[in-house]
Structure 1
């Protein structure tokens, strides 16, 4: 199917409106603000929240739609990228055609609509990955991927913005949950145990490793399970899952044909005054220093590429290996609430990943 040009699918007025909204200033919110605001999900507060989103979401979505139109190396013309662009424009149109929110019933209708927008964008990451594959197939293999800096910077901005949009929508929708889990305000668990979340994520990663290799190294977690702080458990799960999965894979592949017992992965959770830090250490042989700059790029992966096998994109996002996306996207999740992710490697021995999570909850969303 040939993707249609912008002007064939969308009206001129809509495109002009996207241009106008894309120039408006975005408004960031902090974890603390989301927590304080959401702790009393009264009709009045939900109304204020919906009115904020009604104005904020079109600005964020318009900015991304504009960028999707102007990507270098012909990436904007790739069918998968055009599809993503159309999702963004459809969502912009839905938001802009929704009338002002004045009553509780308006707010309920609006909540249903943004819920549908979130679902529409579920497969943006694999779809963009597919667009990059389509680009890579045509590119001169001699091009150094670090030279595609513009694309990396775009993807960092694009995915960071996506994390923010999904967090804002998800948070608002979740505040409607009549039976929220204990201590939870929307997506935020005010008493999250990082040790517990790390344990669940590590078990999950170990299952994936067992499925792929038939065996998996053990892992040990060190830290106080009763220590809690406010954070978004689903974000932490995703990051720890990714780090532990990479470590398990490295150790498994290094010890596969050896008669030695594979050494366990060590996961250490430390609570400082400013940061909670989670360190994931493995003895999987490490990464050569020349390879380290590549691990946070979107065009690099050591695993076989799942998109080459014409698999159904949505069917198995569980493996995630092969998109080359796990680390750069995990780092964005960490940075979204003021944290960071660092990887330090000893070639010939193993790798240490340091995941820093800000305890303060005051940092504003980084708005690309």
Structure 2
């Protein structure tokens, strides 16, 4: 063998291993590693597919909040069917790109049972959606919505499965690559749920007995005051912070004792700023940030039951294009061994504890509402009214005091999805400043990828 040919073998081996999952399950691949001579076979739908290749070759069609709002106003049957067929064709395209991302993972990662489970779930969803014929009537749309809701419910295990799989594979792949992979998977998941839940909400609006098409009673007809589907046209900054703050304080009392003091939340700046947004996205971010600040403040200052805890200050600012939330606490800051890894899903010194905790959460919708399915307040707001989550909430629940290590990185994924940002500054032995910036115009397209070199979405 020539020297040049021999030097090319490592590259060829890596390339074959990376694409091993694409081979048929009926012809198991055998892999030998230096540390083991045990044969590994792959089961499940790891097979080539012409349909998958066709969908991977297609580009996604991103949307903006403004487009969602415009399309949902003055809803007619024709518009509803257009929405249904957009979702029918867009979901399998977005799923196909994520399936391809998983096929490109190293062999040792795709054989992980949790990653393999997500792959099979996505592949089954892809097959069902791509075989759905064009929707031409209201009855066909109702059946399609039933299919979509069933699939969204079945996919609730994706986040914990991915998180556990990534943590278990941390020793085989660089953490930065795993983080980029998981961020892309989660952004795509948010995008699919957004367009699916928006269409389900529009369908519920259209089927409502209080809906009158063609503007027969004047104005727009939505599924609630100032709602177009899942988009709230007049999301108020103060109301979001007050609602999330009250619920997080109740969660703290539930976790630490009814008589445990909780810090006051002070709102300053421009609290009356309004903007269009999907409430469940913003409430998840604000809720996670306030939960962290409340818990840190209690742990640092709450040893004396009679002591007055320092407040949490929320400064709200607005410009022509952005609304900015700055949440400041005096919880002592983030420990130095943890701070470098706060945005990572796979790095950090608490990996084993994360695995133990996430394994206790079989499903996760990543909404604030799931914390109250059986929790404090039984899913009511500060006025005692039921929480309005997505049209499919609550689909899951998790213990409110269980630390999963996913809150901050998942909050950043939510913020960046609509072209916003989330930054954190820790002052050692004092506290944390967290800055959330969101676009208040709603004219930015959804950001579906984490890396520029990813194909499609």
State the TM-score, normalized to the length of structure 2: 0.72
Partner residue of 2:360?
311
Partner residue of 1:149?
176
Give the alignment partner of residue 422 of structure 2, picking from 325, 332, 341.
341
Answer yes or no: is the 8 Å Cα contact 1:339–1:358 preserved in 2. Answer: yes
C-alpha spacing 1:269/1:225, structure 2 compared with 1 (3 Å): closer
Unmatched 5+ stretches in structure 2: 1-22, 26-42, 211-222, 364-395, 450-457
Unmatched 5+ stretches in structure 1: none
Provide, for residues 291-336 of structure 1, a one-character-per-residue CA deviation record: whole Å limited to 9, x for no partner.
4331100025687836416535247424375322111111111111
Give the alignment partner of residue 94 of structure 2, picking from 55, 60, 69.
60
Tell me the distance in 2 between the aligned counterparts of 1:312 and 1:336.
24
Partner residue of 2:366?
none
Tell me the distance in 2 between the aligned counterparts of 1:320 and 1:293.
23
- Once the two structures are superposed, the pairs formed by residues 233-244 of structure 1 within 5 Å of their partners are 233-244=279-290
**RMSD of aligned Cα (Å):** 2.5
Give the alignment partner of residue 323 of structure 1, picking from 386, 404, 409.
404
Give the alignment partner of residue 275 of structure 1, picking from 322, 329, 343.
322
Which range moves more in the overlay, 346-355 or 313-322?
313-322
Which range moves more in the overlay, 292-301 or 45-54?
292-301
Give the alignment partner of residue 176 of structure 1, picking from 203, 223, 238.
203
Tell me the distance in 2 between the aligned counterparts of 1:97 and 1:266.
52
Tell me the distance in 2 between the aligned counterparts of 1:335 and 1:9.
33
Task: Compute the displacement of 1:6 (Å).
Answer: 6.8
Answer yes or no: is the 8 Å Cα contact 2:337–2:349 preserved in 1. Answer: no
- Once the two structures are superposed, the pairs formed by residues 112-123 of structure 1 within 5 Å of their partners are 112-123=146-157
Task: Compute the displacement of 1:81 (Å).
Answer: 1.4
Answer yes or no: is the 8 Å Cα contact 1:72–1:151 preserved in 2. Answer: no
- Once the two structures are superposed, the pairs formed by residues 32-181 of structure 1 within 5 Å of their partners are 32-72=66-106, 74-135=108-169, 139=171, 147-177=174-204, 178=208, 180-181=223-224
Partner residue of 2:45?
10
SS in 2 for 1:327: helix
Answer yes or no: is the 8 Å Cα contact 2:266–2:314 preserved in 1. Answer: yes
Which range moves more in the overlay, 81-90 or 218-227?
218-227
Tell me the distance in 2 between the aligned counterparts of 1:189 and 1:312.
30
C-alpha spacing 1:43/1:269, structure 2 compared with 1 (3 Å): same
For these two proteins, the number of residue pairs brought into alignment is: 356
Tell me the distance in 1 between the aligned counterparts of 2:354 and 2:177.
25
Answer yes or no: is the 8 Å Cα contact 1:21–1:59 preserved in 2. Answer: yes
- Once the two structures are superposed, the pairs formed by residues 180-199 of structure 1 within 5 Å of their partners are 180-199=223-242
Answer yes or no: is the 8 Å Cα contact 1:301–1:323 preserved in 2. Answer: no
Residue 220 in structure 1 maps to residue 301 in structure 2: no
Answer yes or no: is the 8 Å Cα contact 1:51–1:101 preserved in 2. Answer: yes
C-alpha spacing 1:6/1:81, structure 2 compared with 1 (3 Å): farther
Tell me the distance in 2 between the aligned counterparts of 1:358 and 1:321.
31
Tell me the distance in 2 between the aligned counterparts of 1:320 and 1:31.
33
Tell me the distance in 2 between the aligned counterparts of 1:270 and 1:92.
42
Answer yes or no: is the 8 Å Cα contact 2:424–2:432 preserved in 1. Answer: yes
Task: Compute the displacement of 1:203 (Å).
Answer: 1.7
Provide, for residues 8-62 of structure 1, a one-character-per-residue CA deviation record: whole Å limited to 9, x for no partner.
543856x332233123111101110111011122110111111112211111001
Task: Compute the displacement of 1:191 (Å).
Answer: 1.1
Which range moves more in the overlay, 351-360 or 220-229?
220-229
SS in 1 for 2:313: strand
Task: Compute the displacement of 1:72 (Å).
Answer: 4.0
State the TM-score, normalized to the length of structure 1: 0.88
Provide, for residues 146-165 of structure 1, a one-character-per-residue CA deviation record: whole Å limited to 9, x for no partner.
x4111001111111111111
Which range moves more in the overlay, 229-238 or 205-214?
205-214
Which range moves more in the overlay, 209-218 or 42-51?
209-218
Tell me the distance in 2 between the aligned counterparts of 1:347 and 1:6.
54
Partner residue of 1:28?
62
Residue 365 in structure 1 maps to residue 412 in structure 2: no
